[in-house]
Amino acid sequence: MASDVTSPDLELTGDRMPILVWDVPTRVFHWALVFCFMLAYVTSESERWQLWHVTAGYVFGFLLIFRIFWGLIGTRYAKFTHFVRGPKAVAAYLRTLLTRHPAHYVGHNPAGAWAIIGILILGLMTVLTGWASFNDYGDWIGELHEAIVNLLLLVIVVHVVGVVVSSFLHRENLVRAMVNGRKQGHPTDAIRYPQWIIGMLLITGMLFFIWGLLTGHMPWLLP
């Protein structure tokens, strides 16, 4: 199996080429999660848009559960076992950022991986405390919910800054990569199948949640 790490020397020789790294479910998850978080955030203080806030929260939770599931059985670069590394690997990667040629990872780099884990954990806590607050489990739950959301927002900001810095240092548009699924790497590092069917099923699941909540067909999810 080819290594996920590209050495600085290989990075300079131009031996890399665009290859398929991010499957369709991973990309759908990423951008849908961004949209749900933004929608939930901007509607959080409005009674008029409360149903949209709740709907965004439920879909957000649905996406997180899917990502945990996909992190166990998904394609190579989506699996937790592939990109979650220990503190030493994270520290080593951060040190390379101070050089002119930081280590290049075809999938998630070690620092970005832990940002993703943080988003998953804080995201689940956000959904659970949001549900409890919406069902009147106490004012303290609402305050805890807001605190967790702010912490989640901080992690997201750090993640975005990391993406910008990595894009600049590697001369590789990581935002575009999460749209078309392609990053720089060797042909042997590419995933074979984009998993369109799973991606379509994920979209169908989200639309089902949205339809059910907005039309009142899922009353058990609302107080």
- Percent of the chain topping pLDDT 70: 92
- Domain locations in the chain as residue ranges: 5-221
What is residue 205's predicted lDDT score, i.e. its pLDDT?
Answer: 95
DSSP 49-107: THHHHHHHHHHHHHHHHHHHHHHHHS-GGGSHHHH---HHHHHHHHHHTTSSSPPEESS
What is residue 136's predicted lDDT score, i.e. its pLDDT?
Answer: 87
Which residues have CB under 8 Å from 17's CB, separation 6+? 184, 185, 186, 187
Of the segments 16-20, 24-28, 135-139, 160-164, which one has the largest average pLDDT value? 24-28
Banded model confidence at residue 2, pLDDT cuts 50, 70, 90: very low
156-205: pLDDT as tens digits:
999 999 999 999 988 899 999 999 999 999 999 999 999 999 999 999 99
73-128: pLDDT as tens digits:
999 999 999 999 999 999 988 888 888 677 889 999 999 999 999 999 999 999 99
CATH node for 5-221: 1.20.950.20
Distance CA 24, CA 181 (A): 7
> Are 70 and 64 a contacting pair, CB within 8 Å?
no
